[in-house]
Amino acid sequence: MADKLIIVESPAKANTIKKFLGGSTKVVASMGHVRDLPKSKLGIDVEHNFEPEYINIRGKGDLIKSLKKDAKSAKKVFLATDPDREGEAIAWHLSKILDVDSSRITRVTFNEITKTAVQKAIKEPRDIDINLVDAQQARRVLDRIVGYKISPILWKKVRRGLSAGRVQSVAVKLIVDREEEIEKFIPEEYWNIYVKLLDEKSKKTFEAKFFGKEGKKQDINNKEQVDEILAKIQNAKYIVEDVKKGERKRTPAPPFTTSTMQQEASRKLGFTLKKTMSIAQGLYEGVKIPDRGTVGLITYMRTDSTRISEEARSAAKTYIVGTYGENYYENRYYKTSKEAQDAHEGIRPTYADLEPEKIKDDLSKDQYKLYKLIYNRFMASQMSAAIYDTMSVTIEANKYTFKASGQNLKFKGFMTLYVEGTDEKEKDNEEENNMIPELEQKQEVKKQSIDTKQSFTEPPARYTEASLVKTLEEKGIGRPSTYSPTITTILERRYIEKEQKQLIPTELGKIVNKLLVENFSDIINVEFTANIESQFDNIAEGKENWREMIRTFYTPFEENVEKVEKELEHVDIVEEVSDIPCEKCGRMMVYKYGKYGKFLACPGYPECKNTKPIIETIDVPCPKCGGVVQVRKAKNKRKYYICENNPKSCDYISWSKPTIEKKG
């Protein structure tokens, strides 16, 4: 008989913490949730105070029997599920099904799976926090009501298989709204004038950009204005009117939260949100390291806090001072946003001595990439600022003003280790040196050449997974744990599609969004969704009753659902027509979506059941036979190039896109 039984969610987590505890302790996994609402019906008794009708999850019968048996034979049961609302709810569900006296069941949490953290948690057990459980129940019940009440309307009025969700529908709305902005955008012309100037003392040239007239900013909107300015400055003297020298500091980014980790892994590693979270989960739960056994390499990866423990701060100092020197270390504290739950730390490595390069061979390629990102970001967050010498000059030419600026990186600081990525199309190269010559006031500089550039204003960029997550977080929509499943769901439902990282609404997505916004505007909007998150937070803090919150929402919502069901007409989806005729019946084929993506189908179904895959080709002929080169995807989704005649008469196949030149 085990003295202690510890229940966690996953076998990997169980294996990692087993080694920290004595032989009389048994560690088992619940494999996630053991109870949930039924899939076949609403599962909420709206007549009786919104009581959820929880059932044991299908397929978990034997596991539940085993957990009950282990619990009955243990003196004490420790529920050590994840340290968040979801983990608290799993612990509560376990406590309800184990058939053990409540005095023998207790709750423990740890933010990192290390010997110190686990042993400390076992010594400091607590009761299950029913407020956290209620916050999770409120989310689950509200989302179930919204999904199970609105989705059937979509089935009846649009087509079967569609779904609506409180957060997913708002995410689709953001993407559709952005697409409409892009479509309505009217580009405006503007010009820039650049003059290349020579400092005769140093013999160095530099570039100055047109600013305005007599020190006042002036926009150039057409070629006529350009020609007028050029005529006035062509033979003018270029005099330095003002020189400003200074110093600029660039400070590091804070340790990762879930959302910033997802954004940065998308930008720098090209990972999807789903992939990032899956790899992070593995790093948190434990990886086998020689001489150490199974080790949890990072702290809990679902967090919106940037706070770090004093122990971690001390370990970072030791590493930074030892590796780079005293002047590279700075003890930094970061403010956590007021919306953050701040239940635990930001994401950081659990062991400062396990540098990424040291354990590279023990990790998969992707684990190494993400671990290195987390490790370097955390260490950089405790390092000194980068310091630049800066200079900006104002130059006058016949009353027209030009400006030039430059900087020189004097001390690299945290940038030795890590520089945060950006979503902008043109990344700023602040880390680069572009110092201009040492100039003096009233000095003349010689014109070398003048260059003009016509440009047009650009529409706002489409969302990427990274920028959508950033927007959802800024607007208070969802929580760290919801971003990945939300985006995965709307991609799977074909409401949006991804092209070269950009998220684009499909015709189906636009139709469903229009229907939901027109009929459920109180729910499918940013303000409502953000306000609901605040109410969940209030419930978690014991300030609000979850059943009262659901009741307030439900009555007007149900009335609206009944009204829409009666009044809404059927919505026809117009299929996107291709320019490819069906070879069997001659109709123009249409684009459809299936399990494996987009394909062509005959609109004459069921009389004509012809379908065909969409084959992407490139303009460059096959380097071997001159045939058409097709673009295909391997199982890992990497593109490759293959001749249309392969394997019949040509064996050309390559990972690299062929060039125009023919190779014998």
Catalytic positions, please?
300
Taking residue 454's Cβ as centre, other Cβ atoms within 10 Å add up to 12
Residue pair 491/502 in contact (Cβ under 8 Å)? The answer is no
| Strand boundaries in 9-155, DSSP class E | 25-29, 35-36, 44-45, 51-52, 55-56, 76-79, 105-107
**Residue 65, amino acid:** K
Give whole-number Cα distances, 210 to 34, 233, 237, 241, 648, in Å: 67, 11, 15, 14, 61
The candidate with the shortest Cα–Cα distance to 210, out of 457, 452, 443, is 452
Q: What is the rounded distance in angstroms from the CA atom of residue 488 to the CA atom of residue 653?
A: 32
Q: Which residue blocks in 568-605 are alpha helix, DSSP H?
A: none
Residue among 41, 30, 24 nearest 7 (CA)? 30
CA distance 328 to 405: 27
Find the angle CA(420)-CA(468)-CA(633) to the nearest 5 degrees. 90
What's the farthest any 2 CA atoms get from each other in the chain? Answer: 97
Joined together, the tokens standing for residue 197 give 């100037």
* Residues 482 and 542 sit within 8 Å (Cβ to Cβ): no
Give yes or no for a contact between 38 and 44, defined as CB atoms under 8 angstroms apart.
no
SS3 512: helix
Q: Which of 36, 34, 33, 32 is nearest to 52 (CA)?
A: 36
How crowded is residue 372: how many other Cβ atoms within 10 Å of its Cβ?
18
Total residue count of the chain as it appears in this document = 664
Residue 198, token pair as written in the block: 């020579």
CA 542 remoteness from chain centre = 30
The sign of the dihedral angle between the CA atoms of 99, 103, 105, 107 is positive
Q: How far apart are the first and last CA of the chain?
A: 76
Q: Which residues pair with 77 in a beta bridge?
A: 5, 105
Rounding to the nearest 10 degrees, give the CA dihedral for residues 368, 265, 271, 164. 140
- Reduced to 3 states, what is the DSSP secondary structure of residue 538? helix
DSSP secondary structure of 181-229:
HHHH----EEEEEEEEEEETTTTEEEEEEEEEETTEE----SHHHHHHH
- Cα of 97 vs its chain's centroid, Å: 36
d(CA 112, CA 106): 19
Stated as kind and residue range, the H or E segment containing 393 is: strand 386-397
Which token pair is 97? 């099904």
Nearest Cα to 220, choosing from 187, 188, 185? 188
- Tokens representing 567 are 């009044």
Backbone angles phi and psi of 454, in degrees to 5: -85, 135
Query: What is the spatial order of strands in the sheet that 105-107 belongs to?
Result: 25-29, 4-8, 76-79, 105-107
> In whole angstroms, how far apart are CA 132 and each of 220, 348, 557?
58, 24, 25
